[in-house]
Amino acid sequence: MSTRFLLALFLFSICFIISFSHALNNGFSVELIHRDSPKSPLYQATENRYQRVVNAARRSINRANHFYKNSLTNTPKSTVIPDKGEYLMTYSVGTPPFKVYGIADTGSDIIWLQCEPCKQCYKQTTPMFNPSKSSSYKKLPCSSILCQSVRDTTCNEQNSCQYSITYGDQSHSQGDLSVETLTLESTTGRPVSFPRTVIGCGTDNTVSFQGASSGIVGLGGGPSSLITQLGSSIDGKFSYCLLPLLLESNTVESTTTSKLNFGDVAVVSGDGVVSTPIVKKDPSVFYYLTLEAFSVGNKRVEFGGSSHGGEGNIIIDSGTTLTLLPNDVYTNLESAVVESVKLERVDDPSQTFGLCYSVKSDGYDFPLITAHFKDADVKLHSMSTFVPIAEGIVCLAFTSSQIGAIFGNLAQQNLLVGYDLKQKTVSFKPMDCTKV
């Protein structure tokens, strides 16, 4: 990150500090809405819980196919596909505040939304933001430090800074790079506003998702992500506790949501907390960890023996459902599971999962799988590692990948996962997320 960009963020932080309420001093939390929750505008009432599991798994595989594609060639593109994100968050832009839905994504590094007047936009079923109706909206000139610091910017005939982001499936968003007041709806009921937040106001957007979502809220490590922009105001800390939405009843889904925490309330502490270092690698948008091995019961499956071993060998991602592993690691893990599980193997009717079993009742005791990160052993209970995909069929929630490793959100269920970007650590604490 350039010195000039850091200076610009420092100057903007003065505005933030002046406007912060007491709620921000103590941190704040917002709702994370799973796309399959009845609270989500993307909710499909006609789907049963098995269809939701299978569809989420397919989305994660498609997403992963693009996660590394561009990073391997070091091209300056975002390497995720926006519609593959699994969690939405509501926020408001402008003065007066205008409410929108955005896909919350730890694998993306920019905040953008569709704006009127739109040259070419995807079909958005909710009202679109019109910047001309906001008193706090301001386009950035080409000469501004922020314009020159955000990647892939150009200058138009009006000397306004233009952003452009292209995704792994060649969908894209283009428009004005601007500053605007962004307001998050705190779970305390008191909104928290951030003046002069850098956003992309997209007027040329071709993406593969339709519906209520207005765009992307990047939570990754890049210089223009929401997390980086909030910076010192949240002390470099955020956390989330993901509900097991795909496996819970509709009653639980309809009354409870996952939480995304910022600042002091994002600190993960107490009994059972383990922490592992974040490894700095390119592209900087992703959060890289070091996974040393898995254990299935008492049987250890080494990760380091793979050609994908070494520091920073796995990405932790909230937008990918399954956990993806290099082929050799997955094969060894699957063999260890087969050795431990004494049930009849069956084929997956959806042809998505590699290892499935026939389960006659809910009482089978699947083995505990432990992820051995550097300095942190994280226990993954069967709710997070074996998923029902049809009546009487349960499958291992891991899959093989030729392109890299991703620690997905199913494995993170019922864990309080905290990111401390100052200490450069990710912490895990076992937690019943329905009670947070």
Q: What is the C-alpha separation between 167 and 173, in angstroms, rounded?
A: 9
Closest-CA residue to 102 (of 238, 209, 178): 209
Q: Is 334 helix (H, G, I), strand (E, B) or coil?
A: helix
Catalytic residue among 83, 176, 317, 420: 317
Q: Residue holding tokens 């049987």?
A: 299
282 is catalytic: no
Which residue among 36, 105, 169, 420 is the active-site one? 105
d(CA 88, CA 213): 8
Ramachandran category for residue 159: left, alpha or beta (phi over 0 → left; psi -120 to 50 → alpha): left
Q: Which residues pair with 370 in a beta bridge?
A: 295, 379
Say whether 86 sits in a helix, a strand or coil. Answer: coil
Distance (Å, rounded) from C-alpha 345 to C-alpha 357?
A: 4
CA dist 201 and 174 (Å) reads 8
Q: Taking the mean position of all CA atoms in its chain, how far away is CA 223?
A: 16
Contact call for residues 362 and 278 (beta carbons, < 8 A): no
Paired residues of 426 in beta bridges: 276, 419
Q: Supply 286's token pair.
A: 């992703």
Task: Decide if 83 is catalytic.
Answer: no
SS3 call for 229: helix
3-state SS class at 15: helix
Active site residues: 105, 317
